[in-house]
Amino acid sequence: EPEVTQTPSHQVTQMGQEVILRCVPISNHLYFYWYRQILGQKVEFLVSFYNNEISEKSEIFDDQFSVERPDGSNFTLKIRSTKLEDSAMYFCASSVSTESGNTIYFGEGSWLTVV
Amino acid sequence: AQKVTQAQTEISVVEKEDVTLDCVYETRDTTYYLFWYKQPPSGELVFLIRRNSFDEQNEISGRYSWNFQKSTSSFNFTITASQVVDSAVYFCALSRWGGDYKLSFGAGTTVTVRA
């Protein structure tokens, strides 16, 4: 069964460093997303991406964050200068709209710890 | 604005008991999607079900069943004859119909099934 894959699964980084989280969405999907889950809290929307541009972003997604689809398969989230409060699980997701509807599938997540 | 409320923070049951998880949502949209996701201790988000707002039929999948009542804006989830492997956090989520299908998650309900 097709799945969303994310790398790395875990990353520890120093405060102020840049981090890039990588995702390979399901191949025929057209919508791509990043979500975040701080430990013990609910899953929060960060950004959606469609047709090579951001379609919506949340208040969390400030100028420190950026997304890119550098080629036909990868979808990346970059945090320019990490802060302690960026420590969280980051989920990539993808979806495609079909006649029966639209289902969003998530990757296994990337744990980011900022120290 | 869209909002999902899962009033139950934690539920603990003994194996083979039934568990019902409540989900109440708010939206101004007339058409929308509702979802349930499972997050086991390993951390990934596993898709369980999508329900379209115009389809009020209840659904059963093995030991899982869902009760969608548009009149009360509820989408409850029942696990019948629970097993230890059902121990997880369960999230209810809501998305618009169309656009970028951004998900709004509830806070989640932690289910612990004791042997």
In contact, A109 and A5? CB cutoff 8 Å? no
Coil, helix or strand at residue B27: coil
Rounded to an integer, what distance in angstroms lies between the CA atom of residue B76 and that of residue A58? 28
DSSP B28-88: S-SSEEEEEEEE-TT---EEEEEEETT----EEETTEEEEEEGGGTEEEEEESS--GGG-E
Angle at B78 between CA B68 and CA B40, to 5 degrees: 115
Q: Write down the pLDDT at residue B12.
A: 97
Contact A42 B95 (CB under 8 A): no
Helix (H, G, I), strand (E, B) or coil at B111: strand
Chain B's closest residue to A43, CA to CA, is B105
Q: Which two tokens stand for residue B68?
A: 């969608």
Q: Please, what is the average pLDDT of chain B?
A: 93
Q: Label each residue of A33-92 as H, E or C.
A: EEEEECCCCCCEEEEEEECCEEEEECCCCCCCEEEECCCCCCEEEEECCCCHHHCEEEEE
Strands A110-114 and A10-13: parallel
Dist CA A103 CA B33 (whole Å):
9
The tokens 């639209």 sit on which residue?
A: A102
Residue linked to tokens 């804006």: B73
Give the gap in angstroms from C-alpha A66 to the nearest C-alpha of chain B.
18
pLDDT at residue number B64: 95
Distance CA A84, CA A115 (A): 6
pLDDT truncated to tens, each residue of chain A (115 aa)?
A: 779 999 999 999 999 999 999 999 999 899 999 999 999 899 999 999 998 999 999 999 999 999 999 887 899 999 999 999 999 999 999 998 877 778 889 999 999 999 9
Cβ contact A107–B44 (<8 Å): yes
Compare all CA atoms of chain A with the CA of B110 and give the residue at the minimum distance: A40
Query: How does strand A65-68 pair with strand B19-21?
Result: unpaired
User: Across the interface, do A43 and B101 touch by the CB < 8 Å criterion?
Assistant: no
What does the pLDDT read at residue A97? 81
